[in-house]
Structure 1
Amino acid sequence: MKCCAKYSFNGQKPSALSICCLLVLLLLGLSSGCAVNKTQNEPATDSQTQNMRIDSSHGSFELAPTVVSYAPENFSDPFESFNRPMFAFNDFMFRHILIPIGNGYQNVVPTPVRGGVTNFFSNIREPLNALNHVLQGNGSNTGVSVGRFLINSTIGLLGLFDPADAWFALKEQKATLNQTLASYDMAYGSFLVLPFLGQTDTRNGFSTLVEGVIHPLNTVADAPQSLYIQAFGSFHEFAPHAGSYEILQQQSDDPYLFFRNLYLQGVLRDAQFTEGAMPIEAFPLNPYSEKQHTVKALEPSDKEAEFTKPALEP
């Protein structure tokens, strides 16, 4: 679970530490090469009556927590000796610091205010969405992201409101560097746990750090203020799901394996969903992509079924 800071700079020379972090993640991703191997899933047999609401990059759905409890051999984990101590550190910080603060934040800050904050952070990253759509060769979504940014930054009062969606039916089309790299057939590499950022993989971790460096906030705020703002944005995104972490954490005798398998299954499910639902205009800059030959358009009902099937059916 992501919950805190991304790295940012404002026209200043990046520190040696930040450069090393980026290079290490890039090398890890490249050295990992192919995606993690997956073997036969073995869902836990204990029944649970309380379903969880799971949010991903392609939507939300309800899921019984036990369907992601797999045997340890299901996924390769070459960095487990590093990941486990980092997971233990994050787990302590989540349960004793971030979750209590997140619950208090949810109770104290009114819903309309939290909605405005969400709109602001969504709007400020629209240039990143547009850039990634360009790199993916998706012209229509590039125009949507640019239009949303111009409308919401002006009529929407610096993005606190979303008239682009409400008045012009321009819905957010979020795109990340992680998705862009995936569109060029770069595998997600290996499972990785980063401090505060939580569960990720080498490709996604590299994407997160790079986008933190080039984030549009760096053009309107000096370091370290831009870092603080981004950290608050990540905390704001984490706060509504603070309670979900505690519930899921209690579902297994080994929370590390539980969250690793939950994360990796989500990666594989998102990849399956994207390959099935990506518009035909996608990937024109990469004509040798195998996805060119597997893309097909799905109706909304088909998308939902395709998206939830791997998680709900053993």
Structure 2
Amino acid sequence: MNRHPFNLILALLLAALLSACATPQNNYDPIEPVNRVTDKVNDGIDRVTLKPLARGYTAAVPKPMRTAVSNFFENATYLNTVLNDFLQGKGEQGFSDLFRFLVNTTLGAGGLVDVASSMGLERHDEDLGQTLAVWGVGESAYIVYPLLGPNSLRNTPDFITATATDPLFWLSFTMVPAVTIPIAVVKYVDQRAQLLEASDMRDELALDPYIFTREAWRQNRLYLIHDGNPPKAEPLGDDGWEEEDWGSKDDGWQEDEFDRPAESGTESIESAPAADENSAEPENATHPSDKNIDAPAEKEAEPLSGNMFRINLASFRSETAATNALHMLRSRMVDSELETVTIDNQRWYRLHSSELVSGMDAKIKLQDLRSRTGIQTAWLEPVSP
């Protein structure tokens, strides 16, 4: 199993279409306003404390030493995994994990060296939240705890078992604060350092970091509960698209990925329909409210040589869908940006090329982008000087 599935899930969020809108269907977040305030406070504290410490730690401490520190703290908390192995009825895995803990504690110098993995003893990640899920406790309310971050009511009791099975917790009663406090600081700085790349991706790509983090946390929990094989996600209820609409890693984007309308009567994630190659969207374009789409107006005139244009690629109702598409475009070396626009009092997330092009080059550049991305619905928009 992946050693740090949270990083994996953040990467998956950039490559898969996930629902990240705070809608009435998201009843797992009933106290979202309170959670948002707590998350904002936590983020502010993190930016002036743990995050800079983690960056300094990463820059100053060589990777082998950081790996040894991570191994030590992971091994120290591993008895919680062993306990929950047995509580979930995974007897064979429980004995294997117990042996892994003993091997790394003795032969691995207290866990600094992961000897057990080289012996074929796989590392697992179990906790009481997963155990309760296995026992049939349903998904409970999402909650953001002060300083501790994302969690849920179902997963909260794990604080008790994780603490009770941590040898460092019991040893702390025999040590002076001058020893226990630095150990605790190193532990949390090391954990934060492991998430630097993930949080940087979130800050760069997510228009709403709260929703992005919440969905990443939930997908990570599904990943853990199902031992790395979560059930296939259902088609998104608010856009009517199927997973195959996004193509595969091998064949790239399909021609209709951004111009397929939703089923009649459903709320959709729609792209902006393309205008004629010679058309552009004037600043005062009227968008038909009955179709509820972000569409450029028809214009027969050729782009004038003195005008500047940008190329709009697609518009989405889902921020996560737009963010995923942005990541895919950038991975294909298409310099693009994401902005929010309001059409008929509805918010859309629009992707457009970063580069402005002159009227004489606009058609050529438009055709080039359509060819490179497969987005046949891209259109030109004049930009005021």
TM interval, shorter chain, is 0.5 to 0.7
1:6 aligned partner: none
So what's the TM-score if we normalise by structure 1? 0.62
1:241 aligned partner: 195
1:71 aligned partner: 21
Are the counterparts in 2 of residues 116 and 160 from structure 1 also a CA contact under 8 Å?
Answer: yes
1:117 aligned partner: 69
2:5 aligned partner: 56
**Given the alignment, which residue of 39, 47, 51 partners 1:99?**
51
Deviations 1:146-202 (A, max 9, x none): 211221111111111122221x21121222111111110112311100122211111
CA shift for structure 1 position 227? 7.0
The higher-RCO structure (CA 8 Å, 6+ apart) is 1
**Greater Cα shift, 141-150 or 203-212:** 203-212
Are the counterparts in 1 of residues 76 and 111 from structure 2 also a CA contact under 8 Å?
Answer: yes
Q: Does structure 1 residue 150 correspond to structure 2 residue 99?
A: no
Q: Which runs of 5+ in 2 are unaligned?
A: 232-320, 326-385
What amino acid maps onto 2:12 in structure 1?
L
Deviations 1:291-313 (A, max 9, x none): xxxxxxxxxxxxxxxxxxxx989
- Equivalences for 1:130-169 in 2 at 5 Å? 130-166=82-118, 168-169=119-120
Q: Does structure 1 residue 199 correspond to structure 2 residue 199?
A: no
Q: Does structure 1 residue 81 correspond to structure 2 residue 30?
A: no
CA shift for structure 1 position 240? 2.6
Structure number with higher helix proportion? 1
CA shift for structure 1 position 92? 0.5
Distance 1:80 1:207 in 2: 22
The Cα RMSD (Å) is 3.3
So what's the TM-score if we normalise by structure 2? 0.52
- Equivalences for 1:250-265 in 2 at 5 Å? 250-265=204-219
CA shift for structure 1 position 108? 0.5
Report the count of equivalent residues. Answer: 227
- Identity, % of aligned positions: 28
Larger Rg: 2
Distance 2:219 2:5 in 1: 11
Distance 1:162 1:252 in 2: 35
The structure 1 segments of at least 4 consecutive aligned residues displaced by more than 6 Å after TM superposition are: none
CA shift for structure 1 position 69? 6.5
Deviations 1:116-150 (A, max 9, x none): 11111122123222111111121111111121122
Deviations 1:37-92 (A, max 9, x none): xxxxxxxxxxxxxxxx9942796683364845622205122222321211110111
**Given the alignment, which residue of 158, 163, 188 partners 2:139?**
188
CA change 1:183–1:99 in 2 (3 A) is same
**Greater Cα shift, 263-272 or 242-251:** 263-272
